[in-house]
Amino acid sequence: MTSHFPFDNSYARLPDRFYARIAPTPVAEPALIRVNRDLALHLRLDPDWLASPEGVAVLAGARVPEGAEPIAMAYAGHQFGQFVPQLGDGRAILLGEVIDRDGQRRDIHLKGSGRTPFSRRGDGRAALGPVLREYIVSEAMAAFGIPTTRALAAVTTGEAVMRETLLPGAVLTRVASSHIRVGTFQFFAARGDEEALRLLADHVIARHYPQLADGDRPYHALLEQVTARQAALVAQWMLVGFIHGVMNTDNTSISGETIDYGPCAFMDAYHPGTVFSSIDHAGRYAYANQPKIAQWNLTRLAETLLPLFSQDQDTAIAEAQDILRGFAEKFEKAFHGGLRRKLGLFTEREEDIDLARELLAAMSEAKADFTLTFRHLVKAAAGPEGNEALRKLFATNPAAFDDWIASWRKRLSQEPQDAATRQEMMRKVNPAFIPRNHRIEAVISAAVERHDFAPFEELLTVLSKPYDDQPDFAHYAEPPQPHERVLQTFCGT
């Protein structure tokens, strides 16, 4: 058997207590939905082979490829604030790691690949809908330029999974810089296993933060870097109206990638309190709570690192608090910088953030569409004749909005660029297309009810160039009609 994956499995070289060795459970009738050809090439994999019957057998977990060392990773986590000392990959398996064309190590991971010792009462499987949702949203995030796990392939299994009803089963092949989570650190901290914590921290530093290895306080620097990446990540989510939906510590990646797309969603109408997830009753993971929650999750990470910081607990706590305090500033810098650019302000003035806040307040009051508002600002930036589409979004209070536009224009006049350059720069930070919930639902219905994957393909094509106008697909930029509105999203597990 020739090797089609040049695997090098560093995580499987860690001690046994980091994972359970287990092969995927074969499925009845694997059939390919899609291979992400560009990503495959970037990973030095052969997309044609992946799409062949042999490749599809691997993607469905029916066949373990040469060089793979399949494992289910152990982790713990706080779920909605409650600590669960053992979660782990209950329906996923890490096949192994490859080095991509940029020299980056990437996990090849099957989601929906059968039961593992961490499955608890779950069936180890995934339904087609959530697999398509994760494929679409993770690839859209990548196209925005936001750190994220990727989708290499999706297959159907030919088996049904039981959720509220019987649904077609599927497996997603997920690619990540690693699947190490805040919860992975918590798993060992909860067991008082300091040796494992140190091994894990060293592994993470070598893999994600190699520049820290030779510093004098590498574990402090690690917390600082993870904090910086989380702050930057959440700021980027907020700037495209993304709501993760389950920011539990087991869904918080140490590499700073967006991971675990469950009930995630993009806002249509702007409101800071927006929640879609059916299980988030208290709105813990609402849009505007995300920075606060990220900091809470980082505090849980910091707690696990205390023994590596100092023998003296008080010293360790003080040092950790110092680092965590930096979160707010890092987040604000990234978020405010992003808001400025979205407004077409590429120089900095103190009043800019108030200007942005006033716009957000007006949007919230008018229930203006988040994405369209900013995209229409690009048009409006050409001059007053471009205002019309934008004004329509604020029909409930046009007079107040005209005041805002006037202040904005005054501020724009202090910018050095000509209008065309400014618009070009604004277009690159204000997407025309986002994976709108109603579009995702339509894709899922077509696939589940009619076995029609054409809408899935078309949506992926549109979202691969979110910043381009794409006049042929202009309807994909539109918010839902009232009857199309999706009010709730589900984990789908």
By annotation, the residues acting in catalysis are 250
Sole binder of ligand AMP in the list 26, 67, 90, 272 (CB under 6 A): 90
256 to 285: interface string for ligand AMP, x by CB under 6 A: ----x-x-----------------------
Closest contact distance (angstroms) between CB of 258 and ligand AMP is 13
CA distances (Å), origin 163, targets 23, 261, 485: 24, 18, 23
**Contact predicate 113/1, CB 8 Å:** no
Tell me the closest approach of the beta carbon of residue 87 to ligand AMP, in angstroms: 4
Least distance CB 249 / ligand AMP (angstroms): 10
From residue 101 to residue 140, the character string flagging contacts with ligand AMP as x (rule: CB under 6 A) and all else as - is -----------------xx--xxxx---------------
Q: Taking CB positions, which residue lies at the least distance from Mg ion?
A: 260
Can you tell me which of 36, 113, 225, 251 binds ligand AMP, judged by CB under 6 A?
251
Q: Does residue 193 interact with ligand AMP by CB under 6 A?
A: no
Q: Which residues contact 53 (CB under 8 A, 6 or more apart)?
A: none
The least distance separating ligand AMP from the CB of residue 161, rounded to whole angstroms, comes to 8
- For Mg ion, the binding residue among 107, 224, 260, 369 (CB under 5 A) is 260
Could you give the string, one character per residue 31-70, with x where binding to ligand AMP holds by CB under 6 A and - elsewhere?
----------------------------------------
Q: Does 441 bind ligand AMP (CB under 6 A)?
A: no
Q: Quick one: 47 or 183, whose CB is closer to Mg ion?
A: 183
Tally the C-alpha atoms within 13 A of residue 403's C-alpha that lie toward its C-beta.
6
Identify which of residues 76 and 305 has a Cβ nearer to Mg ion in the complex.
76
Stretch touching Mg ion by CB under 5 A, among 113-121, 244-252, 282-290, 295-303:
244-252
Instruction: Name the minimum Å distance from CB 461 to Mg ion.
Output: 28
Rounded least distance, CB 481 to Mg ion, Å: 33
Contact 287, 277 (CB under 8 A): no
Would you count residue 251 as binding Mg ion (CB under 5 A)? yes
List % helix, strand, coil for the chain (3-state, nearest 5): 50, 15, 40
Q: Within its chain, how far is the Cα of 238 from the centroid?
A: 12
Residue written as tokens 């999750």?
Answer: 297
Site size for Mg ion, by CB under 5 A?
A: 2
Distance CA 134, CA 138 (A): 6
Helix, strand or coil, per DSSP, at residue 283: coil
Burial of 243-260, coded b for 16+ CB within 10 Å and e otherwise, reads: bbbbbbbbbbbbbbbbbb
Give the nearer residue to ligand AMP in terms of CB position, either 243 or 381: 243
Handedness of CA 166, 169, 172, 178 (dihedral sign): positive
Nearer to Mg ion among residue 10 and residue 79 (C-beta): 79
| Plot region of 95 (φ>0 → left; ψ -120 to 50 → alpha; else → beta) | alpha
Select from Mg ion, ligand AMP, none the partner in contact with residue 107, using the beta carbon and a kind-dependent cut-off of 5 to 8 Å.
none
Tokens at 300, concatenated: 């849980």
280 binds, among Mg ion, ligand AMP, none (CB under 5 to 8 A by kind): none
Residue 400: which of 361, 426, 446 has the closest Cα?
A: 361
**Alpha-carbon distances, residue 13 vs 91, 210, 338, 347, 462 (angstroms):** 22, 18, 41, 49, 41
Member of 104, 299, 470, 493 binding ligand AMP (CB under 6 A): 493
91 touching ligand AMP, by CB under 6 A: yes
Please state the closest distance from residue 409 (CB atom) to ligand AMP, in A.
46
Which of ligand AMP, Mg ion, none binds 307 (CB below 5-8 Å, type-dependent)? none
Q: Which residues of 126-165 are buried (b: 16+ CB within 10 A; e: fewer)?
A: bbbbbbbbbbbbbbbbbbbebbbbbbbbbbbbeeebebee
Query: What does the alpha-carbon distance between residue 15 and residue 198 come to, in Å, rounded to a whole number?
Result: 12
Residue 88 vs 455, nearer CB to ligand AMP: 88
Closest approach, Cβ 493 to ligand AMP, in A, equals: 3
Applying CB under 6 A, does 168 fall inside the site for ligand AMP?
Answer: no
Token pair for 62 = 């029916």
- 53 or 122: CB nearest ligand AMP: 122
Place of tokens 């696990």: 304
Stretch that binds ligand AMP, among 48-56, 139-147, 246-254, 264-272 (CB under 6 A): 246-254
Rg (CA), the chain: 23
Least distance in angstroms from the C-beta of 109 to Mg ion: 12
Residues sharing a CB contact under 8 Å with residue 453, sequence separation 6 or more, in sequence order:
33, 34, 446, 447
Contacts with ligand AMP by CB under 6 A lie at 87-91, 118-119, 122-125, 246, 250-251, 260, 262, 491, 493
Contacts with Mg ion by CB under 5 A lie at 251, 260
